[in-house]
Structure 1
């Protein structure tokens, strides 16, 4: 059986009932840049550049979808980042960890921060406006 060659992550997708609100959050909080998005006609989509080789696609949720929004969606009563399930988040590495922490505080976004026992890895967990889990991490190179 042949395996895929040259595999690399191309994009992350998040669906939302308000794509503009969610895209604005990622632009304001993490500095993602809006890039050209195709016109799919019957639903809205906004593409954001995360890095030179990675984008995030914010896609309008299908109102007819039978799939659950998820237990940590905006309508959920669980909003404490300490309760974020360990397997349900996307993580971004940053070179200015402390600045990002400060920016989130200024925006009133509740966070949960911890450091790993090695003392080099710092992690910050929070939710986007639709209840998707986010981790920001920095690894001290010293």
Structure 2
């Protein structure tokens, strides 16, 4: 049905109480480019990775009652990257997985690494500053 409609993925949004911090993280770690954002009654930052993928960071509504991310939840185990691979996450792939992994370690980002049973696909799981789950896989797999 989606193919018949010509539907394609447009963007993913993340709400945050500090969108500048979150934007800096995604720009530094993934090289996303800040692009012009429309004007709203709240702060927004739009980041683009390619013509087909954008990340919209939206200022958190102070009236919301939902937790901001795993680190604001009451269960500490939710912030454990070893449990992330079955959970909610956004995935990127990179050409030089080992170099990317070294960069995460140099920045002190806690990670969980694994290799798929095929022995080829390397994966690393970690969190952004708001506790949103991230996965990065090796592109050559």
Fold conserved between structures, TM > 0.5: yes
Q: Provide the TM-score with structure 2 as the length reference.
A: 0.89
How far did residue 85 of structure 1 move? Answer: 5.7
Counterpart in the other structure of 2:113: 113
Note the residue ranges of structure 2 that are not aligned, 5 or more in a row.
none
Residues 85 and 65 from structure 1, CA distance in 2 versus in 1: closer, same or farther, beyond 3 angstroms? farther
Question: By how many angstroms is 1:140 displaced?
Answer: 2.8
Counterpart position of 2:14: 14
Contact 1:120–1:139 under 8 Å retained in 2:
no
- Aligned-pair RMSD on alpha carbons? 1.7
CA 1:68 to 1:74, structure 2 compared with 1: closer, same or farther past 3 Å? closer
| Aligned partner of residue 73 in structure 1, secondary structure | helix
Distance in 2 between residues matched to 1:73 and 1:110, nearest whole Å: 13
Contact 1:121/1:138 (CA < 8 Å) preserved in 2?
yes
Unaligned runs of 5+ in 1: none
Q: Where does 1:112-131 land on structure 2 (aligned, <5 Å)?
A: 112-131=112-131
1:74 touches 1:129 (CA, 8 Å); kept in 2?
no
Q: In structure 1, how many angstroms separate the alpha carbons of the residues matched to 2:131 and 2:28?
A: 17
TM-score of the two chains, using structure 1 as the length reference: 0.88
For the pair 1:73 / 2:62, whether they are aligned, the reply is no
Runs (4+) off by over 4 Å: none
Deviation at residue 121 of structure 1 after TM alignment: 0.8
| 1:21 CA displacement | 0.3
Residue in 2 that maps onto 1:43: 42
Of 120-129 and 4-13, deviating more is 4-13
C-alpha separation between the residues in 1 aligned to 2:139 and 2:20? 32
Aligned to 1:64: 63
Q: Could you tell me how far 1:69 is from its partner in structure 2? A: 2.7
